[in-house]
Amino acid sequence: MAQPIRKLLVAATWMWALVALPSDAQQPAPASRTQVVLLGTGNPPADPDRSGPATAIVVNGTAYLVDFGAGVVRRAKSAVVDKGIAALDPVKLRVVFVTHLHSDHTVGYPDLILTPWVLGRRVPLEVYGPNGIKEMTNHVLEAYRADFDARTRDRALYTVGAFPEGHAVNAHELRAGVVYKDANVTVTAFPTKHAMESFGFRFDTQDRSIAISGDTNPTQAAIDACSGCDVLIHEVLTLEWLAKRPDFQAYAARHHTNTAQLTELANKAKPHLLILYHASLSLRPAVDAERSTPAALLEEMSGFNGRVVVGRDLDVY
């Protein structure tokens, strides 16, 4: 590059920096960036491309999970290996929120209790969920008593996973309102409308606000919980798929949200980013040709006046 041109560019860069500096200084960069990691975006079908519902909010090296569908611990390890998110190492999974007790959201519970313990977790799991989570916890712990007894009895042989405190669970039954607060995050539960007691959660961190619906019919509570939030993660069923499933329509009309309803809801909630999950989707026709494609889902959501994406397992936002 000719010397005069180089000088001109350097000068221009400095001038831009001087102009840019004051506004940058007024808005210091946050100390960390909160990440949303989609561990499982599926629902009950045994879809090899979409694990059961599980979402991680990662703040300052700490992970907070919402739901534990099938595959949750292995997807967490995939996030470590494939996405470099060390906070999702299984032994670090410690705080979890449960939207409701349907099996597709909870079938990974023994995995979440046992696998990190066997790998070396030495603190109890803290679980926050609706009424019934304590009873479910007691039953799961009882179901695996033989394993706990055996590994703990042979403590001298198990150098890693023999610490009884690591398979303990503190289950907290929650009500709507602020349910958890620490230096990283405030978590607020809001009531949702589903086939059993259910909640959605809003996470407020230093730099982001994130609302997650769980399974629900459209509710004003979800609109209020987001209300201009950075990220809204919402379940959805396509009209295309519902048209093929008359057997499911009455249930869906009461307990789930279709694309027309979500479009209306999201236009009121005004998230900066809408992530669709727990959708009537298939990523490959060979898995389920009846379900919609991501493109068809987005087409049905085209009335949303904002940014919308189809969430896939291990996406990071």
Where does this chain bind Zn ion (CB under 5 A)?
43, 102, 104, 215
Query: Judging by DSSP bridges, how do beta strands 35-40 and 307-310 pair with one another?
Result: unpaired
Q: Is 200 exposed, middle or buried (0-12, 13-18, 19+ CB in 10 A)?
A: buried
Buried residues in 234-264 as b, exposed as e (16+ CB within 10 A): bbbbbebbbeeeeeeeeebeebbbbbebbbe
| Complex with Zn ion: residue 151 or 256, whichever CB lies closer | 256
**What is the closest distance, in whole angstroms, from the C-beta atom of residue 137 to Zn ion in the complex?**
19
Closest CA to 237 of 266, 258, 268: 258
| Complex with Zn ion: residue 215 or 230, whichever CB lies closer | 215
Length of the chain: 317
| Complex with Zn ion: residue 34 or 43, whichever CB lies closer | 43
| Complex with Zn ion: residue 103 or 305, whichever CB lies closer | 103
| Complex with Zn ion: residue 85 or 232, whichever CB lies closer | 232
**What is the closest distance, in whole angstroms, from the C-beta atom of residue 53 to Zn ion in the complex?**
6
Q: Is 266 exposed, middle or buried (0-12, 13-18, 19+ CB in 10 A)?
A: buried
**What is the closest distance, in whole angstroms, from the C-beta atom of residue 37 to Zn ion in the complex?**
19
| Complex with Zn ion: residue 14 or 251, whichever CB lies closer | 251
**What is the closest distance, in whole angstroms, from the C-beta atom of residue 196 to Zn ion in the complex?**
7
| Complex with Zn ion: residue 85 or 237, whichever CB lies closer | 237
**What is the closest distance, in whole angstroms, from the C-beta atom of residue 173 to Zn ion in the complex?**
18
Unique residue bearing structure tokens 């979409």: 50
**What is the closest distance, in whole angstroms, from the C-beta atom of residue 217 to Zn ion in the complex?**
11
Closest CA to 90 of 160, 186, 171, 181: 160
- Give the C-alpha separation, 253 to 118, whole Å: 42
- Give the C-alpha separation, 24 to 288, whole Å: 49
239 near 245, Cβ under 8 Å? no
**What is the closest distance, in whole angstroms, from the C-beta atom of residue 255 to Zn ion in the complex?**
7
**What is the closest distance, in whole angstroms, from the C-beta atom of residue 227 to Zn ion in the complex?**
24
> Vertex 10, ends 6 and 12: CA angle to 5°?
115
The phi and psi torsions of 82 (rounded to 5 degrees) equal -95, -25
| Complex with Zn ion: residue 101 or 118, whichever CB lies closer | 101
